[in-house]
């Protein structure tokens, strides 16, 4: 499985570490799996060329916050008419309802689920299956729980006998961690860590994770399972990196930025 972190920041921001392009550094959540599947479509999706966007068959949504969907309507508009089949977006019913009611409502943006026709639209909105995993593009996808105060989920993605659990946005969610720890072929957990420890109260109020909660829950995982730290809020990246690097010494930890890729096994 190849994961391109087109966007993995908890916000947007132009400054960058040495060697990184400022305009590309902090883009919001959009991960591309094996070139044809996206997890979320935040501003990271705008890194793709038009031909790369055309190749995307499925968009797996975790929730409908803007930093995770901002480029979905724009992307569908960009490639309108260039694909023979619709792009399929998948989500929880409550997430798809937000898209229908508040984004693709012919006021904020055209309803691309009926354009050019309801029979052959550019986009379809699809509920995740409830009777088993979603199987698309050689991937097996299971929804996982998330505690974000709105309809939201994590995703377990399996390919080639290895799995990665993506938390999506969430506060501490015991069910997510116990489910992840029970996955026999789990290779990595991509966990959001929005805040450093000094902002623990803000993390609690906004239902996000801060460093100590990530460290505490990661202890539930076998030591061969890597942590991928994502959704760091702009301006806090170095502090989060320093705190996690000090506290987690028993497993591999990755801190990707927009534009990085990981290929499993790593």
Enumerate long-range contacts of 12-20, CB under 8 Å, 24 or more apart.
Answer: 12/43, 12/67, 12/234, 13/234, 13/235, 16/257, 17/257, 20/257, 20/259
H/E stretch holding 3 reads strand 2-7
**Interface with Zn ion includes 142 (CB under 5 A)?**
no
Cα separation values, 32 from 52, 59, 60, Å: 10, 9, 10
Region binding Zn ion by CB under 5 A among candidate stretches 50-58, 161-169, 175-183, 195-203:
161-169
State which of positions 190-219 bind Zn ion (CB under 5 A): none
Q: How far is the CB of 73 from Zn ion (least distance, A)?
A: 17
Among 67, 173, 199, 237, binds Zn ion (CB under 5 A): 67
Alpha-helix runs per DSSP H in the chain: 50-54, 66-69, 71-78, 93-98, 174-181, 200-206, 211-218, 237-247
Q: How far apart are CA 90 and CA 99, in angstroms?
A: 11
- Cβ proximity to Zn ion: between 183 and 211 the closer is 211
Q: Minimum distance between the CB of residue 42 and Zn ion, rounded to whole angstroms?
A: 7
Distance between CA atoms of residues 33 and 120, nearest Å = 26
Residue closer to Zn ion (CB basis): 24 or 147: 147
- Sites for Zn ion among residues 6-65 (CB under 5 A): 65
Binding Zn ion by CB under 5 A: which of 38, 71, 159, 169? 169
Q: Which is nearer to Zn ion, 4 or 169 (CB)?
A: 169
- The residue count for binding Zn ion (CB under 5 A) is 3
Nearest to Zn ion of 67, 199 (CB atom): 67
Nearest distance, CB of residue 69 and Zn ion, angstroms: 10
Please say which residue, 95 or 183, places its beta carbon nearer to Zn ion. 95
Binding site for Zn ion (CB under 5 A): 65, 67, 169
């Amino acid at each position: 499985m190849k994961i391109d972190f087109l966007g993995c920041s908890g916000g947007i921001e132009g400054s960058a570490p040495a060697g990184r392009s400022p305009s590309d550094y902090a883009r919001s959540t959009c991960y591309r799996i094996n070139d044809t599947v996206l997890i979320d479509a935040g501003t990271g999706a705008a890194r793709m060329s038009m031909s790369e966007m055309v190749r995307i068959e499925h968009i797996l949504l975790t929730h409908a916050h803007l930093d995770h969907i901002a480029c979905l309507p724009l992307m569908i508009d960009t490639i309108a008419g260039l694909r023979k089949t619709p792009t399929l977006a998948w989500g929880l019913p409550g997430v798809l309802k937000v898209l229908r009611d508040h984004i693709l409502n012919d006021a904020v943006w055209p309803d691309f689920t009926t354009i050019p026709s309801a029979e052959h639209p550019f986009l379809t909105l699809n509920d995740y299956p409830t009777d088993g995993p979603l199987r698309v593009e050689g991937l097996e996808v299971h929804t996982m729980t998330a505690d974000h105060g709105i309809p939201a989920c994590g995703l377990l993605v399996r390919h080639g006998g290895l799995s990665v659990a993506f938390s999506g946005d969430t506060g501490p969610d015991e069910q997510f961690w116990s489910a992840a720890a029970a996955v026999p072929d789990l290779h990595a957990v991509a966990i959001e860590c929005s805040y450093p420890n000094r902002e623990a109260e803000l993390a609690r109020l906004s239902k996000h994770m801060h460093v100590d909660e990530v460290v505490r829950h990661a202890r539930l995982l076998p030591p061969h399972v890597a942590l991928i730290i994502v959704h760091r809020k702009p301006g806090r990246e170095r502090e989060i990196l320093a705190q996690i690097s000090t506290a987690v010494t028993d497993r591999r930890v990755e801190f990707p930025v927009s534009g990085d890729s990981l290929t499993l096994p790593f």
